[in-house]
Structure 1
Amino acid sequence: MEFKVKTGGERLDKVLADNTELSRSLANEQIKAGLVRVNGLAKKPRYTVVEGDIISYQLPEPEVLDIQAEDLPLELVYQDQDVAVVNKAQGMVVHPSPGHPSGTLVNALLFHVKDLSGINGVLRPGIVHRIDKDTSGLLMIAKNDQAHEKLAQELKEKKSLRKYLALVHGNLPSDKGVIEAPIGRSDKDRKKQAVQANGKPALTRFIVLERFGDYSLVELQLETGRTHQIRVHMAYIGHPLAGDPLYGPKKTLKGRGQFLHAAQLGFTHPSTDEIRVFKAPLPEIFEETLERLRKDY
Structure 2
Amino acid sequence: MKQFIIKSNDADQRLDRFILKAFPELQKSVMYKAIRTKNIKLNGKRCEISTRLRAGDELKIFINDELLGNQKTEKKQVFRSGSSLKKEDIIYEDENIILLNKKPGVIVHSDSKNDTDTLADRLKNYLYKHGEYDPASENSFAPALCNRLDRNTAGIVIGAKNAAALREINKKIRENSVVKKYLCLLSALPDKPKATITAWHRKDNATNIVTVMKEEFEGSKQIITSYRVIDPSFGGHVLAEVELVTGRTHQIRAHMAFIGCPIAGDTKYGRADVNERSGFEYQALCAYRLLFKKTTEENVLSYLEGREFECRDIWFLA
Q: Is TM (by shorter chain) over 0.5?
A: yes
1:216 aligns with 2:238: yes
1:98-140, CA deviations, whole angstroms, 9 ceiling, x for partnerless residues? Answer: 311112101210111234999x987xx4121101111111111
**Structure 2 residues without counterparts, runs of 5 or longer:** 1-73, 294-298
**What residue number does 1:277 align with?**
308
Cα distance change on mapping 1:101 and 1:186 into 2, 3 Å:
closer
Contact 2:172 2:178 in 1 (8 A): yes
Give 2:170's match in structure 1, choosing from 152, 156, 178.
Answer: 152
**What residue number does 1:35 align with?**
none
1:79 aligns with 2:93: yes
Give 1:193's match in structure 2, choosing from 197, 202, 210.
Answer: 210
Contact 1:194 1:232 in 2 (8 A): yes
**Structure 1 residues without counterparts, runs of 5 or longer:** 1-64, 289-297
**What residue number does 2:78 align with?**
68
Alignment length (residue pairs): 219
Contact 2:265 2:280 in 1 (8 A): yes
**What residue number does 1:230 align with?**
252
1:73-101, CA deviations, whole angstroms, 9 ceiling, x for partnerless residues? Answer: 44111111211111111110001223111
**What residue number does 2:270 align with?**
248
Q: In structure 2, how many angstroms separate the alpha carbons of the residues matched to 1:271 and 1:282?
A: 26
Residues 1-297 of structure 1: matches in 2 within 5 Å?
Answer: 67-69=77-79, 70=81, 71-74=83-86, 75-113=89-127, 114-115=132-133, 125-186=143-204, 190-195=207-212, 197=216, 198-212=219-233, 215-251=237-273, 252=275, 253-267=278-292, 270-273=300-303, 274-284=305-315, 286-288=316-318
Residue 278 (structure 1) shift:
0.5
Q: In structure 2, how many angstroms separate the alpha carbons of the residues matched to 1:192 and 1:163?
A: 23
Residue 248 (structure 1) shift:
0.7
**What secondary structure sits across from 2:307 in the alignment?**
strand
**What secondary structure sits across from 1:194 in the alignment?**
strand
RMSD after superposition: 2.7
Q: In structure 1, how many angstroms separate the alpha carbons of the residues matched to 2:270 and 2:101?
A: 25
TM-score, structure 2 normalization: 0.63
Q: In structure 1, how many angstroms separate the alpha carbons of the residues matched to 2:133 and 2:301?
A: 16
Contact 1:95 1:104 in 2 (8 A): yes
Structure 1 segments of 4+ aligned residues over 6 angstroms from their partners:
none
Tell me which structure has the larger Cα radius of gyration. Answer: 2
Q: Sequence identity, in percent?
A: 28
Contact 1:261 1:282 in 2 (8 A): no
**What secondary structure sits across from 2:167 in the alignment?**
helix
Cα distance change on mapping 1:163 and 1:246 into 2, 3 Å:
same
